[in-house]
Chains A and B, each alone.
Chain A
Amino acid sequence: MTLDRTRDALTQLFYRGGSIVLFVLLWQLACSAGLAPETFVASPVVIVETLWSYILDGSLYRHSVVSLSRAFYGFILAVAVAVPLGFMLGGWFKSFERIMGPLLTFLGQFNPFALFSVFLLLFGIGEVSKVAMIFWVAIWPVLFNAALGVRTVDPLHVKLARSMGMGRIRLLWKIVIPSSASFLFSGLRLAAATAFFMLIPAEMMGASRGLGWLIINAQVNYQIPKLYTGTLVIVVFGLLIDLLFKLLEKKVVVWKEAKVL
């Protein structure tokens, strides 16, 4: 029984990950055969060697911690602001929504890089301006999805709960948050992905540490293996962040049916 299941899981993994393995093999072959110009394309073996040396000398750890903590603080701040705001906008206070809604919709279209210089002027060249940038890109998906989640709560459930004498706080906990949880999670996932994606250009423009800096430094100094290694690390982190949110959603939103796609 367990053996069967393990075998099934392995087959699945093979089918789904096989293309990645094949791609890496072809890449290595192309590099070994000299088909790819060595000055522009580093082979997977070289990348792994470089990665290993960065792990050993601790620089990988140092840069990753810097980047991840920037992304984390920006993201957490955005969530802390956006979730309550989204809930309020989504129907708690009608007049608040009527006044704030259009402005927020408009602000959500602002390009963070247009604001980059403004953030620099306001917050200086330190950590705060980068965290502010991440905050800016992460806040909108969470805000809009939270508002959408609250708006799509079944009014029948709310009425039912009210008629049974449920108070506002309990209503929030028992009806509104569970009903909007799946929207909330998709907002969080999108925000985390965008935050990490935008962190790299943000670090390229004005930082002296972090993964984005590592890559721009490699570009400027023409260290191709270093460049690919940095890219690989960023991709792996991106995958891990996505996986983390998927798992979290599965653990928290247990009542949601699996999507049939």
Chain B
Amino acid sequence: MTGKAIARDLPEALRKYALLIALLALWEVSGRLGWADRQFLPSFTDTLNAVFEMWERTHLFMHIMVSLTRVTVGLLAAVALGVPLAYLLGLVFPVLAARVEALLRVFALVNPYCVFPLFVVFFGSGETAKISVLAWVSLWPVFFGTLAGMRGVDPYLVRTAKSMTAGALASFWKVILPAASPSIFNGVRIGVEMSFFILIAAEMTGATAGLGWIVHSAGALNQVPRIYGAGLCIVVLGVFLNRSLLYFRNGLFFWKAETDPISGAQLGGGRPIGRAAAAAACAAFVAVMAVGIFEIWRAEALLNDPGEIPEYRVWTE
């Protein structure tokens, strides 16, 4: 980016984030000047301090990675299950789909929180049960998004492909999947949002690691700055997840750019992702997953480590 471009974009960025910065400043000032009780509303810098302190002393990185991995693995499972299922029901067996749709809508309404014991029966009480809860939550938006996408595929396109002697597999890869994928992606985004909501709630009630667990344990120990610090991390992680999905969405479906929900302005450049960028993103993803799985393992190991600092142990027992 040239200096000129930066100079041009700066006022735009300033306008965009002016109110956010003002809000953060108000938060800081109200703590410092004693407008708000610091016991209950630590200032912004206190919160940042708490974040740094947790990073150094209480494995904040591990908790972030644990939460991130849970959401991602749950989502991958939901996509792996939901997309083929929706393809089968939407295009291969449409009559069956009409018969079972009501049942599936009922399933989608079952709050996984309620039937957690059932998940424990099938998946044990460890990490798998938690991830399957998240997979369940994101499965339904992905499934119904895909179904809507499959049904919305222009039948003329499919027939044209057929008349050009494309087989079932080729027409699926070349015609149906690209035509349905914006709708699939919408489902994925709703799924991520829902499962991230549920993840934090699940970690607050029944986990021994993760950002939601920090909120819960800090609440129990009355460490108010840590509550805010963990909350800040959750917010940043949520925004990060949303942004990275948006990046992929805009790159993959560059002909259908996402718009800002309020102003209607186009978000992202609407440029296709190059091969190098795609490879880098895949490598980064694999690396994050590897680190995440290692951190989940480490979180379990730390639980049984008698030399571990008491703060981490007290509220997991």
Q: Is A37 close to B, CB under 8 A? A: yes
Partner of A112, one of B99, B102, B197: B197
> Which residues of the partner chain A approach B235 to less than 8 Å between Cβ atoms?
109-111, 114
Contact with B along A85-122 (1 / 0, CB 8 A): 00001100000011111111110111111111110111
Q: Which of B53-61, B123-131, B226-234, B277-285 contacts A (4 or more CB under 8 A)?
A: B226-234
Please tell me if the beta carbons of A111 and B197 are within 8 angstroms of each other in the complex: yes
Determine the distance from Cα of A89 to Cα of B261 in the docked complex, in whole angstroms. 10
Closest A residue to B101 by beta carbon equals A16
Determine the distance from Cα of A100 to Cα of B16 in the docked complex, in whole angstroms. 8
Determine the distance from Cα of A118 to Cα of B204 in the docked complex, in whole angstroms. 14
A-facing residues in B139-172 (Cβ within 8 Å): 148, 151-152
Q: Is A46 close to B, CB under 8 A? A: no
Partner of A205, one of B102, B194, B205, B242: B205
Write the residues of chain B forming the contact surface with A, with a CB cutoff of 8 angstroms. Answer: 15-20, 23, 40-41, 98-103, 105-106, 109-111, 113-118, 120-121, 148, 151-152, 194, 196-198, 200-202, 204-205, 211-212, 215, 219, 224, 227-228, 230-232, 234-235, 238-239, 242, 260-264
Closest A residue to B41 by beta carbon equals A121
Determine the distance from Cα of A104 to Cα of B16 in the docked complex, in whole angstroms. 11
Partner of A224, one of B18, B110, B117, B204: B117
Instruction: Give, as a whole number of angstroms, the nearest-CB distance from B192 to chain A.
Output: 11
Please tell me if the beta carbons of B262 and A89 are within 8 angstroms of each other in the complex: yes
Please tell me if the beta carbons of B231 and A231 are within 8 angstroms of each other in the complex: no
Assuming the A-B contacts A111-B235, A115-B231, A215-B113, are A105 and B261 also in contact, with contact meaning beta carbons closer than 8 angstroms in the complex?
Answer: yes
Please tell me if the beta carbons of B106 and A118 are within 8 angstroms of each other in the complex: no
Closest A residue to B242 by beta carbon equals A109
- Can you spell out 23 A-B residue pairs with CB atoms less than 8 angstroms apart? A15-B99, A16-B98, A16-B99, A19-B99, A19-B103, A40-B120, A41-B118, A99-B19, A101-B263, A102-B15, A111-B200, A111-B235, A112-B197, A114-B230, A114-B231, A117-B231, A122-B40, A201-B111, A201-B205, A205-B205, A231-B115, A235-B109, A239-B105
Q: Which of A51-59, A143-151, A157-165 contacts B (4 or more CB under 8 A)?
A: A143-151
Partner of B20, one of A102, A114, A151: A102
Determine the distance from Cα of A16 to Cα of B262 in the docked complex, in whole angstroms. 38
Closest B residue to A199 by beta carbon equals B111
Instruction: Give, as a whole number of angstroms, the nearest-CB distance from A135 to chain B.
Output: 15
Assuming the A-B contacts A97-B262, A102-B20, A219-B116, are A20 and B109 also in contact, with contact meaning beta carbons closer than 8 angstroms in the complex?
Answer: no
Please tell me if the beta carbons of B261 and A113 are within 8 angstroms of each other in the complex: no
Please tell me if the beta carbons of B20 and A231 are within 8 angstroms of each other in the complex: no
> Which residues of the partner chain A approach B109 to less than 8 Å between Cβ atoms?
234-235, 238-239
Closest A residue to B120 by beta carbon equals A40
Q: Is A17 close to B, CB under 8 A? A: yes
Please tell me if the beta carbons of B200 and A113 are within 8 angstroms of each other in the complex: yes
Determine the distance from Cα of A259 to Cα of B264 in the docked complex, in whole angstroms. 24
Please tell me if the beta carbons of A113 and B197 are within 8 angstroms of each other in the complex: yes
Determine the distance from Cα of A90 to Cα of B202 in the docked complex, in whole angstroms. 36
Closest B residue to A115 by beta carbon equals B231
Q: Is A176 close to B, CB under 8 A? A: no
Instruction: Give, as a whole number of angstroms, the nearest-CB distance from B100 to chain A.
Output: 4
Please tell me if the beta carbons of A117 and B263 are within 8 angstroms of each other in the complex: no
Partner of A235, one of B106, B231, B232: B106
Closest B residue to A118 by beta carbon equals B231
Beyond contacts A20-B102, A215-B113, A234-B109: 16 other A-B pairs, Cβ-Cβ < 8 A, are A16-B98, A40-B118, A89-B263, A97-B262, A103-B20, A105-B261, A109-B238, A110-B238, A111-B197, A111-B234, A114-B234, A147-B261, A148-B264, A198-B197, A215-B114, A239-B105
Closest B residue to A233 by beta carbon equals B114
Determine the distance from Cα of A215 to Cα of B102 in the docked complex, in whole angstroms. 25
Closest B residue to A36 by beta carbon equals B121
Q: Is A197 close to B, CB under 8 A? A: yes
Determine the distance from Cα of A137 to Cα of B201 in the docked complex, in whole angstroms. 14
Determine the distance from Cα of A160 to Cα of B221 in the docked complex, in whole angstroms. 64
Determine the distance from Cα of A232 to Cα of B100 in the docked complex, in whole angstroms. 19
Partner of B200, one of A15, A101, A114: A114
Please tell me if the beta carbons of B15 and A98 are within 8 angstroms of each other in the complex: yes
Please tell me if the beta carbons of A197 and B121 are within 8 angstroms of each other in the complex: no
Determine the distance from Cα of A90 to Cα of B15 in the docked complex, in whole angstroms. 18
> Which residues of the partner chain B approach A17 to less than 8 Å between Cβ atoms?
102
Please tell me if the beta carbons of B17 and A102 are within 8 angstroms of each other in the complex: yes
Instruction: Give, as a whole number of angstroms, the nearest-CB distance from A180 to chain B.
Output: 13
Closest A residue to B226 by beta carbon equals A117
Please tell me if the beta carbons of A113 and B151 are within 8 angstroms of each other in the complex: no
Please tell me if the beta carbons of A113 and B238 are within 8 angstroms of each other in the complex: no
Instruction: Give, as a whole number of angstroms, the nearest-CB distance from A1 to chain B.
Output: 26
Instruction: Give, as a whole number of angstroms, the nearest-CB distance from B232 to chain A.
Output: 8
Instruction: Give, as a whole number of angstroms, the nearest-CB distance from B246 to chain A.
Output: 11
Instruction: Give, as a whole number of angstroms, the nearest-CB distance from A59 to chain B.
Output: 17
